[in-house]
Every structure is written in C-alpha cells, then in structure tokens.
Structure 1
Amino acid sequence: MAEAPFKVLGWCTDRKVIYYQHRQTGQIAYITPSAQATPLLKLAPAGFWESQYPGRLGTDWVTAASKVIESANKRGVFALDRVRGRGVWMDGTQVVWHLGDRLEVDGKQVGLIDHQSSYHYQRLPRLDIDPATAPLSDAEGALILQAVKAMGWSTPVDHLHLLGWVMLANVGGALDKRPVLQITCGFGQGKTYTLTVVIQPLLAGLAICESNSSEAAIRQTLNTDTLPALIDESEGEDQHKREGHLKLARLSFDGRATSRGTTYGKALTYAVRSSMALVGINAVIADPAGRSRTVVVGRQQLPQEQWGPVDRKLRELVTVKTGAMLVRRCVTHLPTLQANVATFRRVVEAQLPAGAAARAGDTYGALLAGAHLLLSTAQVDEAQALDWMDRVGWDAAAALGVDAAPEQSAAAEGAQCLAKLLSHEEQWRTADPEYGTGRITIRELLQLARSPSGADEAEQARTALGRRGIKATDHALVIANNAQLLAAIYNNTKWRSGGHVERLRDLPGADAAGPHHFKAMGTHKATTVPWAAAGF
C-alpha cells in the first residue's frame, strides 16, 4: 500500500471530528467523517483514494471513510495540548528545534511529520534563521559581555542579569523555569535603546514584540510558540493591562497550564512557555511573589563623551547575525545549560538570607547559568560556580536587594503604595509658579500644609488634602482607612477597596490610629506614617 499523504491523529473529545496532519503541508486540521468525497479530498487527492479503494463506479468512498475512522479509533482522543509551535523544546531526552517548516532533532534535520513522538509539530511560518550557522565562540561572548556592561546600569550586576535572560530566552521552551525580565528606567534613559539595539538583535530578531498590547492579544499571538516575548509600554498607569502582563509572566515562569471559562460552555486551557521581558517607566511589581520570579534591571545614563564609543562598539558587535550565532550556541549546548541551571540554583539558595523566597534560587540560578554560557560551554560543579560568581561580583544580598527578606519585601510594597499616593495629582489654583499651573501632587500639598508661612495657602492645602482623607500633623502623615475617600488614588491599583491600609502599616513606624477628623470629610479611622518614613 502506498504511503498515505496524511497522518491520522485521532478524534476530538466528543467524536465529532477527526484530526490529521498533512504530509505535504505539515499542517494539522480536522475533517467531519463522511462517506462523501469532499472531507476525504482534504486528506489526499482523488487519485490516491481511487488507487487504494477502487469500486465498480469509481472510488469506494464508504470503505475509504471506514479506514480513516478505524485509524482514528486506534489513535484514540487527540489532545490539542500535544501540539507544539516554533521554538526549542525537550522531547524526552531529545532537543527539538522547531524552525517552522522543519525540525532539528539533536542537531539533525528531520521532517515535521517524520519525527516519532507523542507530540505533534505542525507547519508554521519559517523562522528567519539558518540552523547551520556557526555557534558564537567564548571570545565573542566575552566581547559582548564587556560591551553591554559598559552601557551604564543601575547596579553592577544588571548587565549579567539581562544577558543571562537573553541566553535563557533563546531556549525558553526547553527549560523548567523562565525568569521574567523587567526593564525599568526614567523617560529618555535608554529602555527603548536597550530593547531595540541590544535585546532584539541578540535574540536573532525572532522575538515576538508587542507594545501596549493586552494579555489576551499577546497570548493569542504566541499561540503554541515558545519564542521570546518582548512587551513594551507595560506601564502601571493602565493597571488592568499591567496586571494582565504580570499574570502572563507568572504563567510563563513555570509553564503550567491554566483554564478559563468560555461563552460556549467549554473551558479554554492554555500554557505559556515563552520567556517574557516587560519594559516600562512606571512598572512597579508590588507582589513579593511576583518579584521573586522577576529580575529588575535599570539603565543609568552616561555622559555624552563616554556614550559615543560605547554606542559604536555595541552597534558593531550586536547584530542579528551575532544573535543567530548566539541562538546556535544556546541550542547546541542546551544540556550543559540545564545542568548548570541546577548547580547555580543550589549555590544561590545557599546564599539566600533566612526567610527569603525559595523561588529566588530558581530565578537567579537560571540567570547566572545563562550568563555563564555566554562565556563558557563547560559544565561546572558548585565550587566552580561559586568561584565564577565571585569573579563577576555577584552576591545574593546585593542582587536581591529589598527582596532578600520578607519583612523588607513588605516594607518595599508599603513604600510603593505610599509613593502612589504622594505622586497623585490634584487640581490646584495658585499664583506661585513653583507649584505648577493647575495641578499639584499630594507631596507638594503636604509641603504646603506643613509650611509655617502663607497661612491662607496652607489652609487651602489642608482642605484639599482632607477631601482625599489625608492630614498633616506635627509628627506624622495621617491617611484615612476609608476606601471611598481614596478611591481616586487607589481605584485602579491592587490597593483598592481598602487594601492600602495593611500595606501602609508595613512601613517603619506606621501604625493604626484612632478616629481623626479630616477637613470637609468628617471623622474616620486612620493610619499614621512617620514623616521620616514618608520621605519628608
């Protein structure tokens, strides 16, 4: 019997359709079984059916359909979650690189339909990369590290974290954990440059790039792919969209499947195994659990005379061609990377302060293993990993910062909650240009309210603050617990509905207070925050 130009994959769960994969196109689709010719012609041309199932008056379509149904019965139920898109995967012990129109399995080219596996790799648009590209050398990796290090960073290890993320992102689908990268810096300080000149080329131009997109749009764009996802303009101003990005990042960290209800009565189940990078100016991660999955890096601007040579060197070294060589290095040495991730995780866990999130070991261990792969393809033991970390200047307490201990994490979240309040702007009428023309922040109103001069203006400031449930006393800042008074400030944040109360009390010296009178709004229970803790 001639080889069929299709492969029957099995039934859907309610036995209404049969899934198949076409040998020529590599695409996965389905038919509704029927004794008519039309469904079967999707699987193979008329000549195939006529030669295999001849009848007195042409093709015996009943027998042909029966054979297809019999094949589906043998295969059982086809699970859509066994379909894999483009990117790098582990298939048992094999490294599978899905290039869109073909596979590379353990370094050898294999047809999409010819790979023997319980997973199914369907044809998708071809990735613009040549798998025969030579891998990046250790020396070339060292040059990239030095060039990126010279860009100017908020901390001495930010460049290691960023490059470690890039190395992991190239093979994200094959990893157990995928740390999230958050790039945060002020306007005009280089976040877009970092994204377009450094990260995108080092990912060989293969990343999915989204700007100000919703979680659903990003998830649907990725579909079954495990290509890296770069999400620009992930800003705190749009709290709903920002929470969606953080949810997607949380799901991608360990790749677990999740389900949601649909209007047609069946749950939609999906899993995300792409490495995520979020980019934004006002991009707070208030949840300590979210921060333990995320590494935050920030840029620090260099003087122009220093920046010129750095920029020229980066543009010379960091190209899409370099990125293709980097991807090739990651795929070729994936087993070494996986082994080193486990080793670095144990070393990092041994350095974590008591009470620190255990997940931080997964996050920073993976990032360090990725950065190490940029410089060396050697598999290391714990002593060698620790020695390398000492040489590059990585220390857990310094790298984790306020996330090192839970009480510090709580205080950090309290500080973020307070910062949101202090930066909120109100309408204000004043002749003094020092305080703006028409709008003024809560912080500026508090400065006015505490001012010994300008009695009329100070009284106006106290009234404006009182309408928001805020009061300035001699010793502390007083904030009402009543959520309605602070709705304009916290409504679209995770501290809405009174959530600000507990977070503010995490600040040093903050405490519950009895009833306080707020100008124009009456008496309410409140929370006091010492002026020092509030930054005054």
Structure 2
Amino acid sequence: MAKRKTINHAGVTGTRAVFLDAMRWIESRAIAEDPDPNFSRDGIKPGQWPGAPWDNLPPNCPVQVLGHNGDLIYCRSATGQLHEVERWDYPTLVKLFAPYINFLYWAWPGFGSGGKDADGQELPPIVKRVERDKAVTCLIAEGKRRGLFDPKKRVRGRGGWMAANGAFVWHSGERIWTVDSGLKLSCADPGEHDGDFYTKLPSVMEPWQMPVNILDTPASRILEDLKTWNWERPYLDPLLLLGWIGTAFMGGALANRPIVFTTGGAGVGKSTLHQVTEAILDDAVHALVDTTAAGIYQHVKHDSLPVTVDELEAKKGSTKATAVIELARLAFSGGKMARGGASHDGTTFQARSCFMFSAILHPPLAVQDKTRMAILNLRKLNKGHGREPVINDADGRMLLRQVMDGWTGFNTKILPDWRKTLHMAEFDARAISTYGTLLAAAELLVGPLAMEAIGLPVGDQHALAEMIQEATSVERAEQMEKWQECLEHLLAAPIEGYNGGQRMTVGSVLHEFENVGQTIEITRDKLALAGLGIRRAGDPGQGPCLAIPAQHPALGKIFQDTDFYDGGWINALKQGPDQVVLTKAPKNTKVVKISRVAKHCLLVDLGSYDAMMPKEQ
C-alpha cells in the first residue's frame, strides 16, 4: 500500500512554486463585476448595443456561441462549459448566463414602469424582465452564422493535448496550461483555442509552477521504488512502467498511446502497483476495477486522462474483458467506436487515453492487441523484500511539469532516437511505437544515466538494440501474423482417422511423407480426409506444397470456431510472403485432385515455410 505524504518543498524554487500556487488560486476565485442591468456598460445603455437585438452578439458577452448542427445550437456558457441546446426557455438562458444574470437583462431588457417619485412625477422605465424571444433569436442566429459544429471532433476534455503549432497543452478542467520556449508557464480560461474547444470541467491536477530538471525530479525516487518489485526483466520492466506514467500525462498529444498489462499470481504486488500509480496521478486518472467498456467511456467522455483497470481477469464465456481490451486498442491510435442508440441516433466515442491493466491471467489477446501493449510479468516477492513506497503530494505535478518542459525534445530527439534503436532490433512499426514511446518517456523523466544504472546500455546503440531484442523475443514471437496463425492451426488440426492406433494430424501426415518415406499416394489419401491436397517438391515449390481449397466440408469443420471460418482461411493465407504462399504459381499447378474432385487451390511451399521458421537449438 503506497503512503501519500505532504511535504514542504525547501529552497527558493520550492517556495516560489508554493507562492505562485497561492496567487493563482486567489486569481481563479475572482469574479468579474455584473452591474445592475439599468446601468450603462462602457457607455452603452440597456438594449442599445450596436446590432441589437439580434444582428450580432452584444459586446463582452459572457456566453460564446460555437455553431450549430441540425436543431442543436452549441454554446460555451458563462462558466466555461459546453451546452447543446435544442429547447429554449428562460431556465436555459439562466443556465447559460449564470452567474452574470444582470448581463442577460441588460442585453435584452424588458422595461416596466419605474413608478413615481415623492412629488408624484413619473420616473424613467426600469428593466424588469428579459425579452426572451429576442435573446433566443440572437443566440440561434449567431449559431447559424458560425456554421456547423461537431463536438465529436472539436471538443477536448481534461488531460494532455497537442496544439495546432505542435505545443503541448494540459487541460486541468478550470485552466488551459502551456509552457513556452523559455520554460515560462502560462494559463488561460477554457474555451475555443486554435479551432478546438476546451470545455470547462471539475478541476484535476495542475502542473508544478516552476521548471523541474533531472536533478530535482521525483521520477528517480519512483524508479527506485518500482525496482523493488520482483520483475521478470528487472533491467527493463520498471522503466516501461515509469514510461507509461509519463505517457499517461501526454494522452491526446501522442500519435500512439501504449498499453501496459501487469500479470502475476496472488501476492506479487499487482494491486499495490496500481495504488502507487494512482497515487502519483492523483485525480488525473480514471481508476476503475472490474468495469465494462461502456462504463469506461461513460466516465472518460471527452477526457484524455489515463485509465487504470485492476483485476481484468479472463473469465470463460464472458466478453466483458475482451470489449475493454478492444477499447484500449482503439485508444492506441485514437480510433472511434460507434454504437447505436435507443432512439436510432448513433453515438460515437473516441478514446485518447493511455490504459493500464492488471490480472493474474490476462484475457485472450489477439495479435493486434499484443502488438500495442507491453506485458510486464511479476513474480513472488521474497520475505522482507521491498519497502512501502512513499508518494509525495507534489510528485505527479512535478512529473507533469517535466513532460511539459521536455515535450519538444521528446518529439524531436528522444523518441526518434528510440525508434532508430528499435528498428535496429528488428521490431515492426507497431512494436516500435509501443516500446519506443514508453522508453522515450522514461528517458524524458529520469535521463539516460539512470537508465544505464538500471542495466540498459543506452550509450551503445547496437548493444542496446541486441539487449531489447533478446528481452522481448518471447512475447514478440507470440505476436505471429494472421496467415501464420491460420497455417499453424491447420497443421495441428486432427484428421478423422487413425494411423497405427494414433490420431493423425495434418502436420503428422506431412512429417511422415517428408521424413519417414510415406508414399505420396498414401499421403494424398490421408490429407484428403481433411480436405487438403499435396504436390511434390519442385512442382512448383522449393519443398512439397500443401494444396488448400477455398471450400471443403472438412476444412469448414477445422476452422469453424476460429477467426478463419467460412472460407476465411484463404484470405488469411494470402497475406503470407510470396515465397511461402505461392499466389503467383503457374495456373496448371493450382488445380489439385482431392478425393477425385479437381479443386482450385492455394499452394503453401512447406520447404520455404520451414526455412523461415526459427531453428530448433
């Protein structure tokens, strides 16, 4: 269990940061004046501003109209929140303009008698009500003038984002934060910035007020704490998790958002790791347990804040965990999820959060899931091993400030260098995006010397590439492509028949043909039971060719409970390399007799397939 500790930050820098926090808090509580609606504002009498009552919005209007979409008008209320308005009435106007109600009355005044003075003389009329129809007409007309507004594309919630100029933006709910090239922190009110609308929301973590360098960072202490767990790869896994904490702040600013999944038996510290991570991220995380995909996107909405899900266990017959994994997969590249609604109106959700999961056994993962995540395996802790981590109250804010200060260097130097290293390690493009982003974020937080100290030879790119290649070889080997997965399923498939009392498989029949001297006639008869054919070596492949038709009842039975059902095996196999799957073989070689019936087949060169597979040591 992680302890959360409040500390006083000593020194001039720490004192300055605390002082700036206090000043910003005072400023945030200041509310602009809202004078009596009968008084003139900047010399303009009630209801007499240029363009009144509906040719344009009144000057300094606290409500911003963003645009329209069908019957909906989208507005930023006086408190900074997004409203989509279809029904217009007085309560709606009050919700939009509060707490500046007097402005509403001043802009569209309904006058009434001012009464009489002590001498019985008529006094000037005074504002007594709102001319609701005029106000509504003005707001709707402005929405139409502004044009179409799509909240699914333009609205940004809390978390990290990238501005149009490439700068990093942190939306804390009540403020938008940026750091300039001189490392000066500035903030602005939520609203429309560079074509995107940042809606005002309940406040979460704000960045540390002063720059944070490698010497002052809490990341070094956090890394030391992470090293006390019993990792399968102690020189790599703590850095990957630390890197994920860095990417958790980046969120929507990243092109790809890596997933981490911690696994291990009871008592290895998975839940404690979640508690440590959540203590660092504080209120800037959606921390959930045993949830559903629908529950996640109802919590996240437009945020790019990270999501942690503890105890995402594999449960037979349940698709709940699979749907959550699918959502994280979409979030990796910012893909959209569309769902139908009860009123036949479709809803679209775009996740741009980094996900962290844990389980004793992770749910079944497809190749497309594995390539987007780093699986971090934990082992039993030895008695007396480790210590209780202590998270200081400012740790997360300081890490966030590091991310903001180092964003340009991360994109222009650190991440490209890691991409080059992992390319040398023969990672594919998606694995480079996953591991490269995590390791680059770790380097941003602790620097290369700390990575050297944990055991990664960061200063020697070739040695580093070899080490990471070896460290991830097992999990990358599990990330086989679909064509290979399909072929391996077929080779392991049982055949309806026995040979010497042993149940035959497609692979065992081929082994007897290639290594035991079984004749091609016997081999052809056995394979025909599985709906397959065979061609000799050299006709046309380097080795014997397995002939696979697009349709056959026996093949349909073999693939019925897989992703390759109903002839899908052909489409999968066609994705294989040309030297293995002979799609360009002569037409006459593709026609093979199976149980006396001539079938047009896809040919798989078993000799070339064996040559590209890892050799047994």
**TM-score, length basis structure 2:** 0.61
Q: 1:74 to 1:194 in 2, by over 3 A?
A: same
Residue 85 of structure 1: CA displacement?
0.8
Tell me the residue number matched to 1:43: 96
What does the per-residue CA deviation read over 1:197-230, in whole Å, with 9 as the maximum and x for residues that have no partner? 3x22332452211111111101111111111100
Tell me the residue number matched to 2:459: 387
Corresponding position: 1:87 with 2:159: yes
* Runs of at least 5 residues in structure 1 that lack an aligned partner in the other structure: 379-383, 418-468, 482-489, 504-536
The worse-fitting range, judged by mean Cα deviation, of 230-239 and 320-329 is 320-329
Residue 385 of structure 1: CA displacement?
9.7
Give 2:292's match in structure 1, choosing from 214, 228, 239. Answer: 214
Tell me the residue number matched to 1:369: 440
Q: 1:46 to 1:373 in 2, by over 3 A?
A: closer
Q: Is the 8 A contact 1:389 1:395 kept in 2?
A: no
Tell me the residue number matched to 2:602: none
Question: Partner letter of residue 425 of structure 2?
Answer: Q
Q: Is the 8 A contact 1:333 1:377 kept in 2?
A: no
Q: 1:158 to 1:4 in 2, by over 3 A?
A: same
Corresponding position: 1:311 with 2:375: no
The worse-fitting range, judged by mean Cα deviation, of 138-147 and 115-124 is 138-147
Q: 1:49 to 1:100 in 2, by over 3 A?
A: closer
RMSD: 4.4
Tell me the residue number matched to 2:586: none
**TM-score, length basis structure 1:** 0.69
Separation in structure 2 between the aligned mates of residue 498 and residue 471 of structure 1, nearest angstrom:
26
Q: 1:408 to 1:217 in 2, by over 3 A?
A: closer
Radius of gyration: which is bigger? 2
Tell me the residue number matched to 2:402: 329
What does the per-residue CA deviation read over 1:332-381, in whole Å, with 9 as the maximum and x for residues that have no partner? 212222232233123212321xxx64211111111110111122299xxx
Residue 282 of structure 1: CA displacement?
1.4
Tell me the residue number matched to 2:137: 66
Tell me the residue number matched to 2:353: 274
Q: Is the 8 A contact 2:246 2:442 kept in 1?
A: yes
Residue 311 of structure 1: CA displacement?
1.2
Q: Is the 8 A contact 1:403 1:409 kept in 2?
A: no
SS state of the match for residue 371, structure 1?
helix
Q: 1:407 to 1:3 in 2, by over 3 A?
A: closer
Residue 67 of structure 1: CA displacement?
2.1
Question: Partner letter of residue 193 of structure 2?
Answer: Q
Residue 276 of structure 1: CA displacement?
0.3
Tell me the residue number matched to 2:380: 301
Question: Partner letter of residue 256 of structure 2?
Answer: K
SS state of the match for residue 380, structure 2?
coil
Question: Percent identical across equivalent pairs?
Answer: 25
Residue 49 of structure 1: CA displacement?
3.8
Tell me the residue number matched to 2:202: 125
What does the per-residue CA deviation read over 1:437-463, in whole Å, with 9 as the maximum and x for residues that have no partner? xxxxxxxxxxxxxxxxxxxxxxxxxxx
Residue 46 of structure 1: CA displacement?
5.6
Separation in structure 1 between the aligned mates of residue 312 and residue 326 of structure 2, nearest angstrom:
12
Residue 56 of structure 1: CA displacement?
6.1
SS state of the match for residue 177, structure 1?
coil
Q: 1:303 to 1:85 in 2, by over 3 A?
A: same
Separation in structure 2 between the aligned mates of residue 394 and residue 104 of structure 1, nearest angstrom:
40
Q: Is the 8 A contact 1:5 1:22 kept in 2?
A: yes
Q: Is the 8 A contact 1:161 1:367 kept in 2?
A: yes
Superposition map of 1:3-18 within 5 A:
3-11=60-68, 13-14=69-70, 16-18=71-73
Tell me the residue number matched to 1:447: none
Separation in structure 2 between the aligned mates of residue 50 and residue 390 of structure 1, nearest angstrom:
71
The worse-fitting range, judged by mean Cα deviation, of 290-299 and 125-134 is 125-134
Q: 1:408 to 1:224 in 2, by over 3 A?
A: closer
Q: 1:375 to 1:77 in 2, by over 3 A?
A: same
Give 1:158's match in structure 2, choosing from 237, 253, 258. Answer: 237
Corresponding position: 1:341 with 2:415: yes
Give 1:116's match in structure 2, choosing from 171, 190, 193. Answer: 193
Give 2:76's match in structure 1, choosing from 13, 21, 38. Answer: 21
Q: 1:136 to 1:216 in 2, by over 3 A?
A: farther
The aligned length equals: 439
Q: 1:265 to 1:65 in 2, by over 3 A?
A: same
Residue 498 of structure 1: CA displacement?
10
Tell me the residue number matched to 1:235: 313
Separation in structure 1 between the aligned mates of residue 401 and residue 297 of structure 2, nearest angstrom:
26
Separation in structure 2 between the aligned mates of residue 74 and residue 244 of structure 1, nearest angstrom:
41
Q: Is the 8 A contact 2:261 2:356 kept in 1?
A: yes
Separation in structure 2 between the aligned mates of residue 371 and residue 234 of structure 1, nearest angstrom:
25
Q: 1:494 to 1:201 in 2, by over 3 A?
A: farther
Tell me the residue number matched to 1:513: none
Tell me the residue number matched to 1:175: 254
Tell me the residue number matched to 1:201: 279
Q: Is the 8 A contact 2:110 2:131 kept in 1?
A: yes
What does the per-residue CA deviation read over 1:472-529, in whole Å, with 9 as the maximum and x for residues that have no partner? 9986797999xxxxxxxx99x9779899x999xxxxxxxxxxxxxxxxxxxxxxxxxx
SS state of the match for residue 419, structure 2?
helix
Q: 1:333 to 1:472 in 2, by over 3 A?
A: farther
Q: Is the 8 A contact 1:402 1:412 kept in 2?
A: no
Q: Is the 8 A contact 1:258 1:270 kept in 2?
A: yes
Q: Is the 8 A contact 2:458 2:464 kept in 1?
A: no
Corresponding position: 1:100 with 2:179: no
Q: 1:266 to 1:385 in 2, by over 3 A?
A: farther
Separation in structure 2 between the aligned mates of residue 135 and residue 190 of structure 1, nearest angstrom:
30
Q: 1:143 to 1:191 in 2, by over 3 A?
A: same
Q: Is the 8 A contact 1:236 1:282 kept in 2?
A: yes
Question: Partner letter of residue 220 of structure 1?
Answer: Q
SS state of the match for residue 311, structure 1?
coil
SS state of the match for residue 444, structure 2?
helix
Q: Is the 8 A contact 2:367 2:479 kept in 1?
A: no
Tell me the residue number matched to 2:543: none
Separation in structure 2 between the aligned mates of residue 357 and residue 472 of structure 1, nearest angstrom:
42
Residue 143 of structure 1: CA displacement?
3.8
Question: Partner letter of residue 472 of structure 2?
Answer: L
* Runs of at least 5 residues in structure 2 that lack an aligned partner in the other structure: 1-48, 50-58, 113-126, 180-184, 450-455, 490-495, 507-528, 531-558, 573-617
Q: Is the 8 A contact 2:334 2:351 kept in 1?
A: yes
Separation in structure 1 between the aligned mates of residue 229 and residue 345 of structure 2, nearest angstrom:
50
Separation in structure 2 between the aligned mates of residue 66 and residue 498 of structure 1, nearest angstrom:
58
Corresponding position: 1:144 with 2:222: yes
Q: 1:190 to 1:385 in 2, by over 3 A?
A: closer
SS state of the match for residue 319, structure 2?
helix
Q: 1:397 to 1:7 in 2, by over 3 A?
A: same
Separation in structure 1 between the aligned mates of residue 478 and residue 359 of structure 2, nearest angstrom:
25
SS state of the match for residue 105, structure 1?
strand
SS state of the match for residue 325, structure 1?
helix
Corresponding position: 1:245 with 2:324: yes
Separation in structure 2 between the aligned mates of residue 148 and residue 162 of structure 1, nearest angstrom:
8
Corresponding position: 1:265 with 2:318: no
SS state of the match for residue 341, structure 2?
coil
Q: Is the 8 A contact 2:261 2:376 kept in 1?
A: yes
